[in-house]
A and B are shown apart, each in its own frame.
Chain A
Amino acid sequence: MTNKLFRYLLAAFLLVSFKAISQHHETAGQHAEKSEHQTENTEHDEGFDVGELVSHHLADSHDYQFELPFLHKTIHLPVILWTNKGLSVFPSSKFKGDNQGKVIVTDDKGNKYVRLHEVIYYADKLGEHEHPSAFDFDKRPLNFSVTKNVTGIFFSFILLFLVMYLTAKVYQNPKKLPKGIAGFVEPIIIFIRDDVAIPNIGKAKYEKYMPYLLTVFFFILFSNLIGLIPFSPFGYNLTGNIYITFVLAIFTFIITTLSGNKHYWKHILTPDVPKLLWPIMIPIEILSMFTKPFALMVRLFANILAGHTIMISLVALIFIGGTLMVAPVSGFFVIFMSFIELMVAFIQAYIFTILSALFIGLAIEEHGHEHEAKHVEHTI
């Protein structure tokens, strides 16, 4: 009975997912077509731009396309800019879906903006056919808009908070056994405590770092899982975004650096090698302070991004082939990849957390065991 129900649910889920993606493709195609008409570029008139579709799915956006079979709607999120004339807020609908710098938006302070690939520039500072980098801060205002991924971060955190708050409620009577949601969450929390925090940080000091490790682990896990569900209000590419992993890695870096004891700094500034080697070793040690969180950032970002790219590309195969015959094959591979990605979702959350714990543990350890740490890092 349950088995049957489960099968129906799975079928419905897959149907909804594929429909959502195909619908999205249609709209993306329409958008692309529209802009192509505007540029009067006839080269790709009939072609289907996979790159466009993939990058559109993976990138952040000012518009949130709500994708459900019966509800397909674009939500225009607010644009918040810090310009040379102060704060400027207007809805992103003013750009009318344009991402090619064709629509010029004027705000109430008289500034003119254009949007190129989801980056907003000053219209008057942009030359003809110029495509500046997003890091060119002279040509664009600082952008604090609520983008799609911002709503994703918020959604992920709200979900996380809700789940954990409900779990905490179960424990109001401490004698009670963990039931319902707590029965699912508690083993993970205990796992993080007993197999991640205590072995790496040590029994004496681990309690201080538990909230951080748990927050990071569950945020990454929730974001990874939310990213795997391919329709709204899920399907964000949060942990596959390098800015988000950058923030997570920075937090680990700050905590590591701030909790570093004198052994940690001694190890960096006066390494245990002949003084002749110090000019080489000290820069290496200082560099390694930064490479550790850098590796954290890139590992998570690349893993999740790669997974999303493969999935969307497999679905796009149907449209590239232009025939429905490809669908079963790519469908099979998408399901196969989904299982792998499900595993990756847990593994990457675990790796980020255990390495964070390891780096913190190295920084507060009384005697250096850096070889062990490097060994673990290399194996992962």
Chain B
Amino acid sequence: MNLTSPETLIFWMTLFFLIFFILLKKFAWKPILNAVKEREESIENALLEADKAREEMARLKADNQKILNEARAERDQMLKEAKALKEQIINKAREEAQLEANKEIEKAKLVIESEKQAAIKELKNQVSELSVSIAEKVLGEQLKNKEAQLKQVEKLVSDIKLN
């Protein structure tokens, strides 16, 4: 290969290289590299955001579960309380009923007692009346003998037992 004048190609090559380097840098490399970088960044951001959204969703799901659990617990609590209240009310009612019944029984006992007393009193009165009439009759027959009469009376009286 014959070597030609070196300055010819060196001069033109340097000139064209510099001119086209500047042109390419301005009109091609910068826009392309920037666009590629921008796109890569936007993809990266999108991926990051998707991750974030996924995390958020997981968090929300966990929250939901928590709220649900709380609600359930609250319901259980309420049920428990209601049960207790029911129990309490029933017990109270029962106690009151007992009390009332006792009172009634007491009252009835008192009435019975007073009735009894009254009956006894009546009985006593009747007994005494009967006794008097009996005594009159017996006395009427036996009081011919004074001594016998007295003896009889004494015996009768001592026989009477006052409750």
Chains A and B belong together in one complex: yes
For the complex, what is the distance from the CA of A304 to the CA of B144, rounded to whole Å?
A: 184
Let me know if A103 is at the binding interface, CB within 8 A: no
For the complex, what is the distance from the CA of A318 to the CA of B31, rounded to whole Å?
A: 50
Given A55-B1, A59-B4, A161-B24, are A147 and B9 neighbors across the interface (CB < 8 Å)? yes
Given A174-B35, A243-B10, are A165 and B16 neighbors across the interface (CB < 8 Å)? no
When distances are taken between beta carbons in the complex, the residues of chain B under 8 Å from A22 are: none
CB distance from B6 to the nearest CB of A (A): 5
For the complex, what is the distance from the CA of A61 to the CA of B56, rounded to whole Å?
A: 71
Let me know if A337 is at the binding interface, CB within 8 A: no
Assess the B9–A150 pair: CB atoms within 8 A.
yes
Let me know if B38 is at the binding interface, CB within 8 A: yes
When distances are taken between beta carbons in the complex, the residues of chain B under 8 Å from A246 are: 6, 10
For the complex, what is the distance from the CA of A119 to the CA of B6, rounded to whole Å?
A: 10
When distances are taken between beta carbons in the complex, the residues of chain A under 8 Å from B35 are: 168, 171, 174
Assess the B7–A168 pair: CB atoms within 8 A.
no
Let me know if B163 is at the binding interface, CB within 8 A: no
Assess the B8–A150 pair: CB atoms within 8 A.
yes
When distances are taken between beta carbons in the complex, the residues of chain B under 8 Å from A189 are: 32-33, 36
Given A186-B36, A211-B29, are A143 and B21 neighbors across the interface (CB < 8 Å)? no
Of A120, A142, A144, chain B has the most CB atoms within 10 Å of the CB of A144
Assess the B30–A211 pair: CB atoms within 8 A.
yes
Assess the A161–B23 pair: CB atoms within 8 A.
yes
Let me know if B75 is at the binding interface, CB within 8 A: no
Let me know if B5 is at the binding interface, CB within 8 A: yes
Interface residues of A in 139-153 (CB under 8 A from B): 140, 142-147, 149-150, 153
Let me know if B54 is at the binding interface, CB within 8 A: no
Let me know if B148 is at the binding interface, CB within 8 A: no
When distances are taken between beta carbons in the complex, the residues of chain A under 8 Å from B3 are: 133-135, 242
Assess the B33–A153 pair: CB atoms within 8 A.
no
- A129-173 vs B, Cβ < 8 Å mask (1 yes, 0 no): 000011100001011111101100110010011001101100110
Q: For chain A, what secondary structure do more than half of its interface residues adopt (helix, strand, loop), or is it mixed? A: helix
* Nearest B-chain residue to A309, judged by Cβ: B1
CB distance from A8 to the nearest CB of B (A): 34
Assess the B39–A174 pair: CB atoms within 8 A.
yes
Assess the A210–B33 pair: CB atoms within 8 A.
yes
- B5-23 vs A, Cβ < 8 Å mask (1 yes, 0 no): 1111111111011011101
* Nearest B-chain residue to A168, judged by Cβ: B31
Interface residues of B in 30-82 (CB under 8 A from A): 30-36, 38-39, 42
* Nearest B-chain residue to A182, judged by Cβ: B32
Given A160-B24, A171-B35, are A59 and B2 neighbors across the interface (CB < 8 Å)? yes
Let me know if A74 is at the binding interface, CB within 8 A: no
Q: Which of A133, A207, A210, A244 contacts B9 (CB 8 A)?
A: A244
* Nearest B-chain residue to A218, judged by Cβ: B24
Let me know if A356 is at the binding interface, CB within 8 A: no
For the complex, what is the distance from the CA of A136 to the CA of B88, rounded to whole Å?
A: 125
Assess the B17–A175 pair: CB atoms within 8 A.
no
Q: List residues of chain B with CB under 8 Å of any chain A CB.
A: 1-14, 16-17, 19-21, 23-25, 27-36, 38-39, 42
The 10 closest A-B pairs by CB, nearest first: A171-B35, A164-B28, A243-B9, A143-B5, A168-B31, A157-B20, A211-B25, A247-B13, A150-B12, A211-B29
Q: List residues of chain A with CB under 8 Å of any chain B CB.
A: 55, 58-60, 117-120, 133-135, 140, 142-147, 149-150, 153-154, 157, 160-161, 164-165, 167-168, 171-172, 174-175, 182, 185-186, 189-190, 193, 207, 210-212, 214-215, 219, 241-244, 246-248, 251, 305
Q: List 7 A-B contacts (CB under 8 A).
A: A134-B4, A142-B7, A161-B28, A168-B31, A171-B36, A172-B31, A211-B29
